[in-house]
Structure 1
Amino acid sequence: MNLVKLIFALLLSIMVLPTTQAASCQSITVSAHENYPPFHWYHEGQFYGVTIDITKQLLERYKLNYQVSSPVPWKRLLEMAKHGHTDLLLGLKDTPARREFLNFTSAPVLNNPVAVFVKKGEEFSFTSWRSLIGKVGNINLGDSHGEEFDDFAKQYLNIQQVKGLAQNFQMVLRGRADYFVTGYYPGISYLSNSGLKDKIVAITPFAVDGYIHFGFVKDSNCASIIARFNQDLAGLAKTETIEQLFEKNLKLWQAQLNGRHQRQQLY
């Protein structure tokens, strides 16, 4: 009788296993940083950006239902991903800590150089990260600029984590920080359209020059599509599509900021 029960249990486990462990990806929730143009940003009730366009293009190719989640602070969004409350994070650095809950694409698609921004007239010689030692610096709350820079910053730098481009740049402008380390493109885009482009500059060379990736939440059913997604990303990188989307979204972001400034001048 015990043998019969054992065989029955084994048969039952074989029948149940495929439906529980290999549930298919029917719908996918996509999430992104709310203020990281031109890669992704939130404006008047909608997300825009290069990563948004790429993701929509691929998911529609797969005939998958998708939704872009509402904006939340970046640090909270990472916590949501840890607990399986989203399926896919767009355009972020691949780090060991994030690999604990994310499977990253490997295709080198979006280069995201990171720059050191300083108040104009207070530039300093920047030859390596060691040039930042002894100064007060800022990074955006929750940001990672790659494993090596993050480790160096923890060990040697005086870094403040402050939320948002606006507040970080204002701290540099007011002398409350000597520099701000952030993505070159979103930094330049913000400065160009906020009246600060003649007051804050990016010094050279870049602090970090590397790629951002797409991260599938490990506990998500949709983690199963990462191989196909990665292959199609690599295919897009061989065409002019991504470059065209980048230019399109850079212009769109600038137009939206110009529109805000024009509305502000009316009041």
Structure 2
Amino acid sequence: MELRPWALLLSLLLLPSLALAAGKCERLVITGSPDAPPLLWRDPQDPTHLIGATADVLQQVAKDLGVKIDLLYGGTRSLALDEVRSGRMDILADAPLNLGELDNLDYIHPALVQTDYLVWTRKDSTLAYATAGDLQGLKGAVSERARLTPAFDTFATQHLNLQRLPTLTPVFQKLLLGEVDYVLAGRYSGMALAQTLGMSNDLIAHDTPIDQPGLYLAISHNSACNDPWLRGQLAKKMTELAGSGVAQAALQRNLERWKAQLQQPVGTQTK
């Protein structure tokens, strides 16, 4: 079929914009929770940026894809989510799967990190924990910031006496004071906080996870970088990471990094 002159002209005019679209994603701006060590926290040397295990893994992924990334502080978790929804930032690095956000975000599967939520008790506790049913009739506590799976959240609401407090710090304090029998906290976030509060020798984390929510990369529908190529490449990388042990190694490394930071004199942690 012969192209009309105007159609040929239009196709020629579109060529530059198509070429630009193909290479539009040279830089990704990523944000996430600013207070979730060892996964993510603000860099004390540069508080505009986030560091941690998630940041390390994403830097490696970006290098493999030939894309530059900036892990920037976007405010509290809720404000960071707003930044991504709006498209001012491209990706939320630690998004729990939320069906209500599917109008705003594309979730990359599988999860970047699978978080083990453990049952923590005092060392002198006689609690014998094997399954969630063992906690019925006991007093527990959990942070309101805990990102539990909907299924476990429903179970906890219906069957457990679980007090929800604003952050993990008062949760652990209640446990140490004997005001609750157990707390639920992430394996690594709990270890980081126990170290922060000097409670490591007084608490036990039972090794069998009670819940294992995933934290996903979530790309804004309003991001100029949200295209099939990027989503496909990120999904491929997440699949490769799932069985590689890279994320676990990064978690261990950044737990030690967090501990070392805590041991620095206060005046030397920021510049």
Q: Normalising by structure 1, what TM-score?
A: 0.75
- Counterpart check, 1:78 vs 2:85: no
Per-residue CA deviations over 1:83-133 (Å, capped at 9, x if unaligned) read 444321123432434445332222355332111222332342323323333
Please give the secondary structure, in 1, of the residue aligned with 2:251: helix
Conserved? CA contact 1:27–1:65, under 8 Å = yes
Distance in 2 separating the partners of 1:37 and 1:166: 13
- Which of 139, 143, 146 pairs up with 2:146? 143
Give RMSD over aligned pairs.
3.6
> Shift of the alpha carbon at 1:147?
2.2
- Which of 215, 228, 251 pairs up with 2:233? 228
Aligned residues: 252
Distance in 1 separating the partners of 2:116 and 2:142: 14
**One-letter amino acid of the structure 1 residue matched with residue 39 of structure 2:** F
Structure-to-structure mapping, 1:49-60, within 5 angstroms: 49-60=52-63
Closer/same/farther in 2, CA of residues 42 and 63 from structure 1, 3 Å limit: same
Conserved? CA contact 2:32–2:73, under 8 Å = no
- Counterpart check, 1:88 vs 2:65: no
> Shift of the alpha carbon at 1:228?
0.7
> More displaced, 143-152 or 118-127?
118-127
Distance in 1 separating the partners of 2:58 and 2:118: 26
Closer/same/farther in 2, CA of residues 165 and 226 from structure 1, 3 Å limit: same
Q: Which residue of 2 aligns with 1:164?
A: 167
**One-letter amino acid of the structure 1 residue matched with residue 59 of structure 2:** K
Closer/same/farther in 2, CA of residues 85 and 159 from structure 1, 3 Å limit: farther
Task: Give the fraction of aligned pairs with identical amino acids, expressed as a percent.
Answer: 21
**One-letter amino acid of the structure 1 residue matched with residue 160 of structure 2:** L
Please give the secondary structure, in 1, of the residue aligned with 2:55: helix
**One-letter amino acid of the structure 2 residue matched with residue 221 of structure 1:** A
Distance in 1 separating the partners of 2:160 and 2:113: 27
Q: Normalising by structure 2, what TM-score?
A: 0.75
**One-letter amino acid of the structure 2 residue matched with residue 122 of structure 1:** S
Q: Which residue of 2 aligns with 1:36?
A: 36
- Counterpart check, 1:203 vs 2:206: yes
Conserved? CA contact 2:109–2:238, under 8 Å = no
- Which of 197, 215, 226 pairs up with 2:218? 215
Distance in 2 separating the partners of 1:236 and 1:124: 36
Ranges in structure 1 where 5+ consecutive residues have no aligned partner? 1-7
Per-residue CA deviations over 1:152-180 (Å, capped at 9, x if unaligned) read 22333344443333232113223444432
Please give the secondary structure, in 1, of the residue aligned with 2:225: helix
> Shift of the alpha carbon at 1:67?
2.7
> Shift of the alpha carbon at 1:238?
5.5
Please give the secondary structure, in 2, of the residue aligned with 1:259: coil
Conserved? CA contact 2:31–2:50, under 8 Å = no
